[in-house]
Structure 1
Amino acid sequence: MLFGLLAVGAAACTPVQGPAPEPSGQPADTQAQLDQLSVASAGSMRGYSRDRFPHWRNAGKNCDVRDTVLQRDGTGIKLSGCNVVGGRWSSRYDKRTLADPSDVDIDHMVPLANAWRSGADEWDDDKRGDFANDLDRPQLVAVSASSNRAKGDQDPSQWKPSNRDDWCQYAEDWIAVKHHWRLSVTSAEKAALDDMLGSC
């Protein structure tokens, strides 16, 4: 599936085709990526703030990365300028169908606090902003607000989607993000990911 980006035209912004996200790979490739991740204890939360991950950057006139993901992941999208004001979304975590954008959250596949504990505390805020707005990897996904809030900042050893059919894709996406950004995993997190790959 191609990910659409938003661009500013002469008078208004217009959806355009953007590059496809990097594929998480076939299971064998994903297993190799998992094996390459550094295993370490979770780091301290000292100094953490969501403000250290500037997110929802501008992505065109009157719109931001949140609107970009809402438009990319939805169907029957209705826009006011570049702001998404209507559509339908299928929440992969819990199989809910949503028809109001206010019921949709944009989940960071690897939560910001988890990233902080696994290496992002050593980045500068610009790099953390790149991570928080990453449209090139499967880091941002439109899901139900309830499932996103149940997940919080937990890793796969602590929380998994209630929709077991998503476990394979969830593990592949989590691994792809951590591998690209060179973030560590805990031993329990790695074991859970390995187990979830068994459903592929």
Structure 2
Amino acid sequence: MSLPRSPRMVAALIMLAALAAGCDGTTLPDASSPSAKKTGNAAPPKSGSAASAKTALAKLNVASAEAMTGYTREKFPHWRSAGSNCDVRDTVLERDGKAIKKTGCNVTGGTWSSWYDGLTTSEPLKIDIDHMVPLANAWRSGANAWTTEQRGDFANDLTRPQLFAVSAASNRSKGDQAPDTWKPPSKDAWCTYAQDWITVKTFYKLNITAPEKAALSDMLGTCA
């Protein structure tokens, strides 16, 4: 037998229902459901068109490379926490791979295609996270005057096309070199690589050298 509800009880039930819903009356998703979970980027950030890259390249400040005096990788703190004990490195590995396997936050398996050289691998140890504009190059281009926090923002930037999962071989071959001394082995990557390099240097107001500018212009010439 159902008991009669007093006006006060009805009001309380209405209030509880309102707390379980959004302000527009829509029920909020359960925190354990996929729709309520925060996910990373589905794909790496993209630069604009080749035309916009050419315009941006013309505006970058051309200057001689600054000295490496005082440089250490520790002055570009990485990898930052990305929540729930994950870090930026794991975030990029997951974002850029397929069929990812994880133990907690640690990426333990998957398949990666390195767009620098066309290498495909399912071995995480053969994949590095590359900084499009290397940390040491940034130091020589003006980052030596930044604060440690600003350098940390640069080293962990997931918003610009600055971090990519690529083959360890290509990343280590590149080192801290600019495009005038190192280009991706796959010429098909040159257009995008130049656009991304210009996007990052433009956002962070970093200098370029004259040979670097010439190489970037040549690489943009491969864009369809």
Q: Same-fold call, TM > 0.5?
A: yes
- Contact kept in structure 2, 1:61 and 1:81, CA below 8 Å: no
Give 1:102 deviation, angstroms: 1.2
Alignment match of 1:143 (pick from 160, 166, 177): 166
Q: What fraction of aligned residue pairs are identical, expressed as a percent?
A: 61
Q: In 2 relative to 1, CA 17–144 (structure 1 residues): closer, same or farther, beyond 3 Å?
A: closer
Q: Does 1:116 align with 2:143?
A: no
Q: In 2 relative to 1, CA 73–155 (structure 1 residues): closer, same or farther, beyond 3 Å?
A: same
Aligned residues: 189
Give 1:100 deviation, angstroms: 1.2
Which residue does the alignment assign to 2:16?
Answer: none
Counterpart amino acid of residue 93 in structure 1: Y
Give 1:101 deviation, angstroms: 1.0
Give 1:110 deviation, angstroms: 0.2
Give 1:15 deviation, angstroms: 5.5
RMSD: 1.6
Give 1:21 deviation, angstroms: 6.1
Which residue does the alignment assign to 2:78?
Answer: 55
Counterpart amino acid of residue 134 in structure 1: D
SS at match of 2:112: strand
SS at match of 2:110: strand
SS at match of 1:76: strand
Which residue does the alignment assign to 2:111?
Answer: 88
Residue pairs, 1:24-39, within 5 angstroms: 24-39=47-62
SS at match of 2:208: coil
Which residue does the alignment assign to 1:162?
Answer: 185
Q: Deviations over 1:114-164 (max 9, x none)?
A: 000000000000000000000001000000001000000000000001100
Structure 1 distance, partners of 2:146, 2:214, is 26
Give the greater-gyration-radius structure (CA): 2
Which residue does the alignment assign to 1:44?
Answer: 67
Give 1:20 deviation, angstroms: 7.1
Structure 2 distance, partners of 1:17, 1:152, is 27
Give 1:19 deviation, angstroms: 8.6
SS at match of 2:150: helix
- Contact kept in structure 1, 2:43 and 2:96, CA below 8 Å: no
Counterpart amino acid of residue 157 in structure 2: D
Q: Deviations over 1:67-114 (max 9, x none)?
A: 000000000000111111100000111100011111100000000000
Which residue does the alignment assign to 1:6?
Answer: none
Instruction: Answer 1 or 2: which has greater strand percent.
Output: 1
Q: In 2 relative to 1, CA 142–20 (structure 1 residues): closer, same or farther, beyond 3 Å?
A: closer
Which segments of structure 1 move beyond 3 Å, counting only runs of 4 or more?
17-23
Which residue does the alignment assign to 2:212?
Answer: 189
Alignment match of 2:120 (pick from 86, 97, 118): 97
Which residue does the alignment assign to 1:3?
Answer: none
- Contact kept in structure 2, 1:109 and 1:138, CA below 8 Å: yes
Structure 2 distance, partners of 1:116, 1:88, is 33
Counterpart amino acid of residue 103 in structure 1: K
Q: Does 1:128 align with 2:140?
A: no
- Contact kept in structure 1, 2:126 and 2:167, CA below 8 Å: yes
Structure 1 distance, partners of 2:85, 2:125, is 17
SS at match of 1:88: strand
Q: In 2 relative to 1, CA 117–40 (structure 1 residues): closer, same or farther, beyond 3 Å?
A: same
- Contact kept in structure 2, 1:60 and 1:82, CA below 8 Å: no
Alignment match of 2:198 (pick from 161, 175, 179): 175
